[in-house]
Amino acid sequence: MKVKTNKFLIAILTVALLAPLQSCDEEKLEISNPNTVSQLDFFNNEADFRVAVNGMIHPITAVFFWGRVVHTGPLLRSDAFNVVPFANNTTMSTLQGVPGVSRWSTDMFPQLYQTIFRANTILEEANDENLPAGSAQDEILGQAYFMRAFAHWYLAAFWGNVPLVLNTPQTQEDFFPMPSNQEALFNAVVSDLTEAANRLPATWSTSDLGRPTSGAALAFRGKTHLFLGNYSQAQQDLQAVVNSGVYDLLPAEQYEENFTTANENNMESVFELQFSPQDNFVWGSDAPLTGSQSNFYIDYSPPTVSLDRGHYINPHILQVFEDNGDTFRRNATIAFDYPGATGYGGRPFLEDFAPDIEAAGVAGVDALFTRKYAMLFAGNREQLPGFGQTVGVNWRLIRYSDVLLMLAEAENELGNTGPATDLVNQVRQRAQIADIPAGLSQGEIFDAIVDERIMELTGEGHRFLDLVRWGLAEEVMGQGSTIAGGRHPKSLAGESAFFTPNRDELLWIPVTELNANPNLRPNPGY
């Protein structure tokens, strides 16, 4: 069962815990709405705090964040996908950012700070009188520390040098926080995740499945150390997740269940965002209070289904699967759609798409599309949800296979090539492909990890940030780069859609935020 939120109570929180970091003057600060529930009146007991926790998580599940479009930043921005420009929808993914234009950026930034504000409110309002010390207090505060760390992590990864906010605003000046730097944000994340790991349970009861756990906190902390280059600390945290015995890889035949509504919150899931389907989806409204995920297939699927003409998987990604003999994950990751296509390994594709795929041929691209999160598992076209409907597929942010590969990377960076090899092979064995041989050099193992993360994690939002932290983004996507068939990874997006170092590592800070906070500055190159 998924974490559900009471719409009425969330509505209360929407007015009681409002939050964007926006400009205001002294007069406006003194205005009160008699119809709202005062923060002072709200936090009276454990039940109130549990409602506040649900409200804290809500902003990141909004339509213009993980509810649909977070993929335009870390996922489609990578070399894995080639995109045909479609108005402002592909601004991020084509590496041609226009600050202040695309909602994909302007909405994500303040929503993360909304979660931070609500987490800070919970942490500040809790005391032994309204929330007595014990397991309930630890569960509530642990979630607040986790989500504050979560929000700061993505702010640091996406935007870099932005404000670190650890308190609710008390003065007018507090509404204009000074920017910090990326390293300081990541270090604050480490501190918050330490608190979370010490307070959160290892597992939750059925009614609370999906809430952050101590294992999720350790995995996220290990990932943070990996980004900081603290390989010893990353190794310790990620090994602790493995040693916990809570997680394991799903059997091979259930691999696709990591990306559908089937078997959500399974033993391979370390942390996933919870979504429930809704009958209707209102574009441009953020669908407040729904907590529902929109149709990913309208972005990912073949041009005959997608208003955005589809997002094509680059052939060099397919080639990695082919070079490793990985038909299993290839068929779960890539939809092959072209006239007469029936899929690999005897697996039929949605044959009624095939006659219409001529649009892909006209675009001069291979007819390769993602299956993960794309709802193509649902059946033929008539069985797919219609445009505008939501599908309720949980987004798996950290899977156990990701933990194993991050641990392999940390071990390899520490010179522990034997354990690194074993960890990579553990993931490959689930995919039913040959082990990488023993005795490989440190550099060869790194290359194997890079390929393994392509095969295991393509379409899940990791590739772009991986390339950035490895220092490979310019090599793979820079102006002089050609990969498959002499084609640049962003060839469909135009000649200027190449990775520019010292700019494209980060997203642009939205103009609305620059105008609201005079202490913010644009990221370099924007």
The burial class, CB within 10 Å (0-12 / 13-18 / 19+), for 157 is buried
Contact 105, 508 (CB under 8 A): yes
Q: Write a three-state SS string for 321-349.
A: HHHCCCHHHHHHHEEECCCCCCCHHHCCC
**Which tens digit of pLDDT belongs to each residue from 128-153?**
999 999 999 999 999 999 999 999 99
Please give the pLDDT value at position 112.
Answer: 93
Contact 468, 501 (CB under 8 A): no
| pTM for this model (two decimals) | 0.87
Instruction: Give the Cα separation of 214 and 196 in Å (integer).
Output: 7
Percent of the chain with pLDDT over 70: 71
Instruction: Give the Cα separation of 62 and 474 in Å (integer).
Output: 32
Instruction: Give the Cα separation of 256 and 331 in Å (integer).
Output: 10
Residue with tokens 């942010």: 397
For residue 272, give both structure tokens: 């996933």
Mean per-residue pLDDT of the chain: 80
Number of neighbours of residue 35 by Cβ within 10 angstroms = 6
Measured over all CA atoms, what is the biggest interatomic distance in the chain, rounded to whole angstroms?
71
Residue 526, pLDDT above cutoff 60 = yes
Please give the pLDDT value at position 105.
Answer: 67
Please compute Rg for the chain using Cα positions.
23
For residue 205, give both structure tokens: 């009861």
Instruction: Give the Cα separation of 409 and 481 in Å (integer).
Output: 25
**Which tens digit of pLDDT belongs to each residue from 434-468?**
999 999 999 999 999 999 999 999 988 899 999 99
Instruction: Give the Cα separation of 164 and 239 in Å (integer).
Output: 29
**Range scoring the smallest mean pLDDT among 109-113, 160-164, 252-256, 364-368:** 364-368
Contact 481, 501 (CB under 8 A): no
Q: How confident is the model at residue 363 (pLDDT cuts 50, 70, 90)?
A: low
Instruction: Give the Cα separation of 37 and 404 in Å (integer).
Output: 46
**Which tens digit of pLDDT belongs to each residue from 290-335?**
445 555 554 555 554 454 555 678 889 999 999 999 988 998 888 7
Contact 353, 306 (CB under 8 A): no
